Chain A
Amino acid sequence: MADLRVVGHSHPRVDGLDKVTGTARFSPDIKLPRMIVGKILRSPHPHAKVFHVDTSRAARLPGVKAIVTAADTPDGNRRSSTYQFDDQGERAASSTPMVMDQTVFCEGVARFVGDEVAAVAAIDEETALEALSLIKVDYDLLPPVFNPLKAMEPGAPLLHDVERNIAYKFVIRRGDVEEGFAQAHVIHEEIYTTQLQHQAYLGPTACVADVDGAGRISLWTELQSPFRARRLLSDMLGLPASKVRIFQTHVGGGFGGKHFKRVQPICALLALKARRPVRLCLTREEEFIASPPRHATHIRLKMGASRDGALVAKETYIVLNSGAYGEVGPIILDTMTKRVDSLYRFANIKTDSFLVYTNTVPGGAFRGFGNPPMDFALESHMDTLAEKLAMDPVELRLKNARRVGEVSAHGWEVKSCALTECIEKAAEASRWKEKRARAKSSRSKPRGIGIGCMIHVSGCRYYPGFYGSNAVVTIGDNGQVYLLSGESELGQGCKTVMAQIVAEELGIRVADIVVPDLDTDFSPHSLGAYADRTTHIGGNATRLAAIDAKQQLFEFAAEMLEADPGDLVAQDGRIFPKGSPQRAVTFLEVARRSWFRAGGKEIVGRGSWDPPSVPPDPESQYGNVSSAYTFGAQVAEVEVDPKTGKVTILNFTAAHDVGKAINPMAVEGQLEGALVQGAGYGLMEDMVGVDGRTYNPNFLNYRLPTMLDIAPMKIMMVESNDPVGPYGAKGVAEPALVATAPALANAVYHAIGVRITSLPVTPQKILAALRAKEAKRRSE
């Protein structure tokens, strides 16, 4: 790997020029001839029977071209596909099946404020909004339930036909926790809660749908997994997959929030009915109230450690507030339930976890996917245990840190792991020892330093079927190379990374490679951007496609060089026999020959790669779910004003095991962006819900970190060179956010001695905790 020429070197984005000049088209920018505007009517009630939808007055309004309700959806208005198949193409016996209970429109019952009831397409926005106000919906209010703990009680109103509103649950037992606790020198139990956090991508979700004369529907939209969306759409619209085509536009940020949503099928239904192109764009308010945010959670954690700091028992009770529907919730619950158990060498584990329906906005995927709330609980707990043991928190973590070659309690095989190195590097670079020991009482605004560690996956398999990626690399008449990948560019930079891989293998420049936007008619099938799988899995497929193209090209080069194709090397735009660079032909000459010579051919290289991971056994939940695990340690230093409770971040130090940084500048960008998002999760961001209504559905009241909120960030990429990843690469985008909130909470504790167990760590909570501490001190 020492002589990599493109991989491992920072490269500007291949789509960057388009983005800095304003020509990049996102889904809200798409405009077609005769296009009309769609708008959605949503339930104003958290729980209500919808027994009649009268659209007759709206239909008479001039300019209204289509109105759709649940009655217009085919086949019972169902979301019917999990996209989890087995080796025979049958719906798979997944270890963690999604709960596909959300229909295109709510039918019969509205279950949250914002639940989609009907939609209109009209000649302009004003007319569409006017039409919505003319639709008369007869609601019969039902008793709602908002608190998941209350929703589990007997007699609570039920949202779906399940007992105690429990949509899914896990019961995990490893070793013997009772025996573990019996050996413990210290035991600590605490309840942690975390809030709804919105992805808050800057680009709203939009969809433009158009139907051709043959009834074939095309959609221009922003999706993290377009092939899954194609299947869902064909199921929901009652059309064969061949009648659905999805064009990926530029994506204005995703972070988990741009998976399939109701906006796509509703837009398609409107276009099918109006027989005109329809654009449906969510407003920022709609994004907040009805686009699935990170779930709110309730975690009771009890852990024991022996005198030397070994973690001997972990007992967890988790309630994940699913909101009104289940969807991807079980897999997020799975992540919360199991992931952190492989961070340290736990042997005795007892976990009961529940996904519970309430009449609130349904939660969904968001960077970290269930890992951040549980990591917040675990890593806060680690600091308390360290204090009880009179150990340094870094020391306690090093004592228990996962190491390479180990198999965790859940069967995860760790083939590369630089956790120890990450912790040591982060501690050293942040001057941990010195700052930890510093006297803090002398300052009017005490300072503190805290650490958080994390583990994540690079792809996570829940079913036995294809979990891989396909890629195609073709070579054109002028030596230009086309890379078709089914993976989604969300802004994270995967087009650039994939182009670097192709350039590396073909010995050409990134500038010679064209990476077209994804089109489900032409792009090869891949699963898309989630579970941090894109670089690790998609990168491997792309590399194989490039190698395949290269081998075909070498056949033509071999004719020209009178050499054995197996002896050839491609480097710096030239192809030559190994050891004889003076005998080179240019890449361009060979490409032209393959394209033009009699009996030649268009070179089409193909690569498919399915990771060697194992779905967990549905019963025991044991199995090596990912082909590579990522690790990291983050240190935050803060200053807390005890008068106001305000926390100021002084700096971050983040050391992450990325396997191999294919594009170091992009990796750094992922880490920096995630630190700031993680700081938002830790300190500021909170969707405030009262009686099922979101009270801050805008950027004025849902505060994102701004440029004034950031602090210096020291980023360290630790390269453990994973044996499976392309060039050793593992995922990086999601892990980078996981440990930020606990590092901040631990730093706040170090500064002022109060432990905030509920996110976000706001000034109000800090002041209340300081007051309680003072009251306790006085009473003693």
Chain B
Amino acid sequence: MKRPKRRAARRRAVLEKGQPLRRIEVTINGEEFDLTFKPARTLLELLRDDLDLTGTKEGCDGGECGACTVLIDDEPRLACLTLAATLRGKKILTIEGLAKDGRLHPLQRAFLEKGAVQCGYCTPGVILSAKALLDSNPAPTEEDIKKALAGNLCRCTGYQKIISAVLEAAAAP
């Protein structure tokens, strides 16, 4: 059997051997961090394993499901495919940073009220993709939403209620 993951891990161990640790300053959810890590550390590992920000989910570790979507300088990006070392000086938003002073973001409220959440595993990534959409296009059509969120898999909801929730959040005052 092919074992791509195992080979990748070994290749990574070889690549990292003797390489100096990387150090960056980065802003995560408004807080500044000075972080040191191995060169091949991904943003997903940095968030989940080093900073215990487990709201960002790992669904496939291959850039295929969208569960690890976060915003890097307001753009939706897959944390599992992003090397942490490339983030010097960047501004990162994860689901934990979305509610402000205990007040839910309109998307979070709409997802709750419209029934757009079932198991909730895809939810953080979906909400962040939707936030990036609404930030650049405050009045999206259903087609705009479908295009923007096509990279976020959801196995529970059938997507319809997610679309309704994004439309609702867009209409929110």
Contact = CB atoms under 8 A, between A and B. Distances in A.
Interface of A: 10, 12-13, 15-26, 28-29, 31, 42, 44, 113-114, 125-126, 129-130, 132-133, 199-204, 250-255, 283-285, 289, 490-493, 665-666, 668-669, 671-677, 693, 698-700, 704, 706-708, 710, 713
A126 B12 contact: yes
Given A22-B95, A700-B64, A202 B121 contact: yes
A492 to B, nearest CB: 7
Given A201-B119, A669-B115, 13 more contacts: A20-B112, A20-B127, A21-B98, A26-B121, A28-B58, A202-B119, A203-B57, A250-B120, A668-B161, A673-B156, A700-B64, A704-B155, A708-B146
Contacts of A284: 59-62, 64-65
Interface in B98-121: 98-99, 104, 108, 111-113, 115, 117-121
Contacts of B94: 22
A202 B122 contact: yes
Of the listed residues B9, B122, B156, the one surrounded by the most CB atoms of chain A closer than 10 A to its CB is: B156
Contacts of B10: 129-130, 133
B157 interface: yes
8 contacts: A20-B95, A130-B13, A202-B65, A284-B59, A493-B118, A672-B159, A673-B158, A698-B60
Given A253-B156, A698-B64, A707-B146, A669 B13 contact: no
Nearest to A25: B54
Interface in B125-173: 127, 145-147, 149-163
Contacts of B119: 201-203, 250-254, 490-491
Contacts of A22: 53-56, 94-96, 98, 124
Given A669-B115, A699-B60, A706 B54 contact: no
Contact of A26 (B1, B12, B57): B57
Interface residues of B, number: 61
B57 A704 contact: no
Of the listed residues B62, B151, B160, the one surrounded by the most CB atoms of chain A closer than 10 A to its CB is: B160
Nearest to A701: B64
Given A19-B120, A700-B64, A129 B108 contact: no
A707 B153 CA distance: 8
A676 B59 contact: no
A509 to B, nearest CB: 16
A474 to B, nearest CB: 27
B155 A200 contact: yes
Interface string B19-63: 000000000000000000000000000001000111111111110
Contacts of B9: 125-126, 129-130
B28 to A, nearest CB: 13
A199 to B, nearest CB: 8
A491 B115 CA distance: 11
B158 A676 contact: yes
Contacts of B98: 21-22
B50 to A, nearest CB: 11
A693 B117 CA distance: 34
Contacts of A710: 146, 158-160
Of the listed residues B4, B56, B121, B145, the one surrounded by the most CB atoms of chain A closer than 10 A to its CB is: B121
Contacts of B79: none
B159 A707 contact: yes
Contacts of A18: 120
Interface of B: 1, 4-6, 9-10, 12-13, 48, 52-62, 64-65, 67, 94-96, 98-99, 104, 108, 111-113, 115, 117-124, 127, 145-147, 149-163
Contact of B157 (A42, A285, A673): A673
Contacts of A666: 115
Contacts of A16: 111-112, 117, 120
Of the listed residues A129, A133, A255, the one surrounded by the most CB atoms of chain B closer than 10 A to its CB is: A129
Of the listed residues B12, B52, B95, the one surrounded by the most CB atoms of chain A closer than 10 A to its CB is: B95
A408 B146 CA distance: 45
Contacts of B4: 285
Nearest to B161: A669
A165 B120 CA distance: 41
A665 B112 CA distance: 11
Nearest to B154: A202
Contact of A253 (B95, B112, B149, B155): B155
Nearest to B124: A22
Nearest to B125: A202
B4 to A, nearest CB: 8
Nearest to B65: A699
A208 to B, nearest CB: 13
Contacts of A707: 145-146, 149-150, 152, 159, 162-163
B112 to A, nearest CB: 4
B62 A698 contact: yes
Contacts of A283: 5, 61
A29 B123 CA distance: 15
A129 B118 contact: no
Contact of B1 (A12, A28, A693, A706): A693
A24 B123 CA distance: 11
Of the listed residues A114, A666, A675, A699, the one surrounded by the most CB atoms of chain B closer than 10 A to its CB is: A699
Contacts of B95: 20-22
A114 B2 CA distance: 11
A200 B154 CA distance: 10
Contacts of B118: 253, 491-493, 669, 673
B59 A203 contact: yes
Given A672-B160, A707-B159, A12 B56 contact: no
B6 A133 contact: yes
A113 B121 contact: no
Contacts of B153: 202, 699, 704, 706
Contact of A20 (B5, B111, B163): B111
Nearest to A23: B55
